[in-house]
């Protein structure tokens, strides 16, 4: 005869905690850092209005601080940010002008 216990069993609870910790400690900061590139592109391309630029500056101020004060990570962040800047077209004058 089967005996049912009134206590619920915990299966997989530890795995869920690990997934949440990985998301909070690794994935979310990674998304924050990587999101600066598309935001730079959107701002320089005119898709983000001028009134939002100061707010974005505040949101990304910690990342800017890291870029200027952490020697190992700073150049990588600057290179990544520069990669997202729209290319300026270079116009050459027409011959005979």
Using one digit for the tens of pLDDT, what is the confidence trace for 67-94? 999 998 999 999 999 999 988 755 555 5
At 21 the three-state DSSP class reads helix
The verdict on residue 96 lying in a domain is no
Where in the sequence is the domain holding 75, given as residue range(s)? 35-85
Give pLDDT, residue 40.
92
* C-alpha span between 39 and 45 (Å, rounded): 10
**Number of structural domains in the chain:** 1
The verdict on residue 77 lying in a domain is yes
The verdict on residue 22 lying in a domain is no
> How would you class 56 by CB atoms within 10 Å of its CB: exposed for 0-12, middle for 13-18, buried for 19 or more?
middle
The verdict on residue 93 lying in a domain is no
The verdict on residue 39 lying in a domain is yes
The verdict on residue 97 lying in a domain is no
The verdict on residue 55 lying in a domain is yes
Average pLDDT, the chain: 83
The verdict on residue 6 lying in a domain is no
């Amino acid at each position: 005869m089967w005996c049912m216990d009134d206590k619920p069993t915990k299966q997989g609870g530890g795995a869920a905690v690990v997934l949440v910790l990985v998301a909070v400690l690794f994935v979310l900061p990674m998304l924050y850092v990587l999101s600066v590139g598309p935001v730079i592109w959107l701002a320089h391309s005119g898709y983000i209005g001028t009134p939002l630029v100061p707010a974005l500056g505040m949101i990304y101020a910690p990342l800017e601080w890291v870029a200027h004060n952490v020697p190992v990570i700073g150049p990588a962040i600057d290179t990544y940010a520069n990669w997202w800047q729209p290319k300026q077209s270079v116009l050459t004058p027409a011959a005979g002008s």
